[in-house]
Structure 1
Amino acid sequence: MQITVNNVVISVSEGNITVWQGEMIVNASNSGLYGGGGVDGAIHRAGGPRIAEECAVIRQKQGGILPGEAALTTAGLLPFRGVIHTVGPIWKGGSAGETAILSKCYLSSLDLACSHGARSVAFPNISTGVYNFPKDLACRTALDSVITYVRERKSAELPLQRIEFICFEHDNAELYEAMLKDYS
């Protein structure tokens, strides 16, 4: 499933983000930028020690990153121009600003990708694993944030040509495909 917004193709697929073909991927990281479980662990394992070394430099300079922020490293052994690490919110019932923080993850990641001239970027399902963000609300937040970002930019400000949501789990892929239809 895909739609085109402001000349940017936005699509959904099921699979492993570490084998995606494009320029930059987003990692659902922890605030210390230590390789953890889920997509974070998969990216660190596939990318090798260089990603962890660069994350250590970021920790030394600024102590990690806060939820909603993003930082860029190279991709190590992965075939990308870079990995954008963002920290999603831990779900606390919805009264702690979790939705706004999750939206900020997508926006700060897009800002970073655009500032480095990326033509394509892939997102995982941020915060829906061990951080327990409800999958339907996370999906709607992701799509709303990304599509609004693309709609509000002039083409000259937007090097991106393709944004893809890579869903590791089948149920997430189906959810994203169903909700993406609402925007076409």
Structure 2
Amino acid sequence: MNKVIFEKEINNIILKIVVGDLTKENVDAIVNAANSYLAHGGGVAAAIVRAGGRIIQEESNEYIKKNGIIKTGEIGITSGGRLKAKYVIHAVGPVWNGGNSNEEKHLYSAVYKSLEKADEMKLKTISLPAISSGIFGYPFEKACDVYSKAINDFSKTAKSLREIRFCFLEKKKALEFSRKV
């Protein structure tokens, strides 16, 4: 079972930091740390398809056919399949390239646009993973600064979104992020 280890109010939005399995989050939408082709072959993306069903990959394929590949810093959306979450927002974060390829700007955009999309859809709750800090190699400590800035900036304009959760498999990373917000 997922466990909240930190909670803080930021401009009428509750931020919760959670240790557990993103696919078990009981929220309106979860965010997938996606690649530009929405090919869910590994990491968070593969776990989402395993838990939510093949329909998520099928809808992802249809999304790409209709809209083209998703650029770094942009998002796409599918249903949540069999997940508790109704939707999966697929956010394409940057691959770390030493910080010289606008990685911070792209990561900020991926997080901010995920929150913005949930708000546009009049959702109340969302849960995000540590976008780009896994196989994409973005240094976790630097990523935490970007996540925090995106949440703070978004919270100033939010209309319907009331709870933002960040879900980490590792308690160590959850605690580290809690010290940054």
2:76 counterpart SS class: strand
**CA distance in 2: counterparts of 1:82 and 1:76, whole angstroms:** 8
1:26 counterpart SS class: strand
Per the alignment, residue 170 of structure 2 pairs with 169
Counterpart contact for 1:30–1:36, Cα < 8 Å = no
Deviations 1:27-77 (A, max 9, x none): 001110011211111001111111011101111112221111011100011
**CA distance in 2: counterparts of 1:48 and 1:121, whole angstroms:** 20
1:20 pairs, out of 19, 25, 29, with 25
Counterpart contact for 1:29–1:36, Cα < 8 Å = no
Deviations 1:14-39 (A, max 9, x none): 11100011111000011100112111
**CA distance in 1: counterparts of 2:10 and 2:151, whole angstroms:** 10
**CA distance in 1: counterparts of 2:116 and 2:105, whole angstroms:** 16
RMSD: 1.0
2:180 counterpart SS class: helix
Per the alignment, residue 105 of structure 1 pairs with 110
Per the TM alignment, residue 178 of structure 1 is displaced from its structure 2 partner at its CA by: 1.3
**What is the one-letter code of the residue matched to 1:177?**
S
**CA distance in 2: counterparts of 1:7 and 1:112, whole angstroms:** 18
**What is the one-letter code of the residue matched to 2:21?**
N
Where does the alignment leave 5 or more consecutive residues of structure 1 unmatched?
A: none
**CA distance in 2: counterparts of 1:35 and 1:117, whole angstroms:** 26
Flag the structure with higher helix content: 1
**CA distance in 2: counterparts of 1:170 and 1:12, whole angstroms:** 10
Per the TM alignment, residue 171 of structure 1 is displaced from its structure 2 partner at its CA by: 2.3
Per the alignment, residue 43 of structure 1 pairs with 48
Moved over 2 A (4+): none
Per the TM alignment, residue 108 of structure 1 is displaced from its structure 2 partner at its CA by: 1.0
Per the alignment, residue 3 of structure 2 pairs with none
> How many percent identity over aligned positions?
33
Per the alignment, residue 98 of structure 2 pairs with 93
